[in-house]
Amino acid sequence: MWITELPSFVYFYLGALLLPLLPGKARNVLLLLIPLLSGVFLWQLPEGNHWQTTLLGFELTPFYTDRLSVLFGYVFHIAAFIAIVYALHVRDLLQQVASLLYAGSALGAVFSGDLLSLFVFWEMLAVTSVFLVFARRTERAYRAGMRYLTIQVVSGLLLLVGVILHAQVTGSLRFEWIGLEQEGPAAIAGWLIFIAFGIKCAFPLLHTWLTDAYPEATPTGTIFLSAFTTKVAVYALARGYAGTDLLIYIGALMTCFPIFYAVIENDLRRVLAYSLINQVGFMVVGIGIGTALALNGAVAHAFNDVIFKGLLFMSMGAVLHMTGKINGSELGGLYKSMPKTTILCLVGAASISAFPLFSGFVSKSMVMSAALANDHHIIWLMLLFASAGVFHHAGIKIPYFAFFAHDSGIRTTEPPTNMLIAMTIAAVLCVAIGAYPQMLYSLLPFELGYSPYDATHVLAQTQLLFFSALAFVWLNLRGMYPPELPSVNLDAEWLYRHLLPRLLQRIMRRFWAVDALLRQCLKRGLVLFGDHLHTYSGPQGILAKTWPTGRVVFWVAVILALFLVLSLF
């Protein structure tokens, strides 16, 4: 039946159009049905299914399926369903429509078989997602949303210019491996597309949109945001730049630098935003290595991260929803009134920390094994450091300062039932994938002969987690662990939120000072010129006197004579 063969994004876009026409309960039913039906239809599609058309002599493939795109399609459907369940109590039509359009745009991007279709959905991701930030309806959210949208639009413009150059050089818009090894215009196109992907992937110095906007979104909107944008960029890098060595070093840096900011950050959702960059770094390293094991590890970790990071964001969203607070300095002791949320948060913390029998362990170890197998020993040490660091700031800090630590005196209740159901679904998936990884491994794009549960991996990871926990306890008891302070931390965004405005203020002050000086000089010059004219043309000036007729005739004759002489030359 043709309706079951439509591209996945069509169901989400149609649903977004129908939502405003339905009352509250019917609207919730439609929201739940869309990812379920679309996911079932995707499951039934044969591999290699695609749509093709022609535009201006270029072959376009707006819908193409293979093992890589289908894997991301599955996890995006799962994420959309969980996030919709989590947000069922919300009666904000703006958020509901934006959420469907955003999830549909992410699906459209990963199933795009050509670069032009990718660009269209790339921009739709930016435009639709920003409303999840605006929906919080605060001044901070509006400002963060505008900064977010500006950076995302820049990414789209770079992608568009790169696509145009790529099409001129190659004569094709097919979305396949691009790389950075070309020369001439092809190299420029490759770098522009690479940077566009890097912005959405939150490369170092290009990452500030994520840590700026995600914590300012609504409690439910952040769940959608954490699932789609960066994972679409990971997919795009895996499709277009697998095996690019530069990605290994970029990814390793991404795994390490967020740790230092996350440890001192007070806003717990911002801690998770830094943790998101850290986890994406593991995926980027795997894509850069480019072997079958590394790519499988990268996309498997992307799959798992969507779920366990969503679970952590959901637990913090529940805290924010019930208490109105999200700063670690204002929370603590919530395990007494939110025990179920506490347990579910601990499952997410164990998963992101890569505890054995939890989902993070079965994917992160693949990337680290690939690094060792390809003699990237320094990179492996950086990943090891990052693994210990993520346990500190996401595995321990998040649950400790939110639910334990000092008793803040806040007494509340568990969040709405739909929130608990969504968190439970995510937690069950984290445990199921960790205990039975073949469920995920069977979906990976390459054949895999890898077993995560050998003695070496389990023992090494257990030791790492044990000593990392021991370090946290020792630092905390000695009072050396950075306390949660009511403060705002800026990293690279300091350049454009602090330094650039001050520089512009100084430049404009100098400009207006020079402008005032020039105006004053011009005014004085005009006054002097006027006075000078007045001496000749005023009532007592020489030009105001009555001249005899003979003298006038004489000077006219002189002027005519000069004119005749000059005309001879």
- Tokens in use for 311? 């679970």
Whole-number pLDDT of residue 537:
63
Residue 303, pLDDT score: 97
The residues near 70 (Cβ < 8 Å, ≥ 6 apart) are: 42, 45, 47, 443
301 SS3 class: helix
Give the three-class secondary structure for 374.
Answer: coil
Burial of 489 (0-12, 13-18, 19+ CB in 10 A): middle
- What mean pLDDT do residues 229-242 have? 96
| Residue 569 reports pLDDT greater than 70 | no
* Residue 322 burial class via C-beta count within 10 angstroms: exposed 0-12, middle 13-18, buried 19 and up: buried
Sign for the CA dihedral angle at 360, 285, 8, 272 comes to positive
Percent pLDDT > 70 in the chain is 95
Q: How far apart are CA 200 and CA 209, in angstroms?
A: 9
pLDDT digits (tens, 9 = 90+) for 283-294: 999 999 999 999
pLDDT of residue 533: 67
- What does the pLDDT look like over 328-370, one tens digit per residue? 888 989 999 999 999 999 999 999 999 999 999 999 999 999 9
Query: For 396, what's the count of Cα atoms within 13 Å in the CB-facing half-sphere?
Result: 21
Does 106 have pLDDT greater than 80? yes
Q: Please, how many CA atoms are within 13 Å of residue 348, restricted to the half-sphere of its CB?
A: 31
Q: Is 1's pLDDT higher than 60?
A: no
- Tell me the mean pLDDT in the region 496-515: 83
**Can you give the pLDDT at residue 487?**
67
Segment 396-410, tens digit of pLDDT: 989 999 998 888 888
Angstrom distance (rounded) from CA 189 to CA 169:
9
- CA dihedral (255, 316, 484, 211) positive or negative: positive
Q: How would residue 545 be classed by pLDDT, with cut points 50, 70 and 90?
A: low
Give the tens place of pLDDT for each residue, 304-328. 999 999 999 999 999 999 999 999 8
Percent of the chain past pLDDT 90, that is, above it, reads 66
Structure-model confidence comparison of residues 53 and 41, the more confident one = 41
Mean model confidence pLDDT for the chain:
90
Q: Is there a contact between 364 and 300 (Cβ–Cβ < 8 Å)?
A: no
**pTM attached to this predicted model:** 0.87
Residue 406 burial (10 A CB sphere; 0-12, 13-18, 19+): exposed
Q: Are 406 and 277 in contact (CB under 8 A)?
A: no
Partners of 267 in beta bridges: 327
Cα–Cα distance for residue pair 304/252, rounded to 1 Å: 19
* Angle subtended by helix axes 268-289 and 221-240, to nearest 10: 10
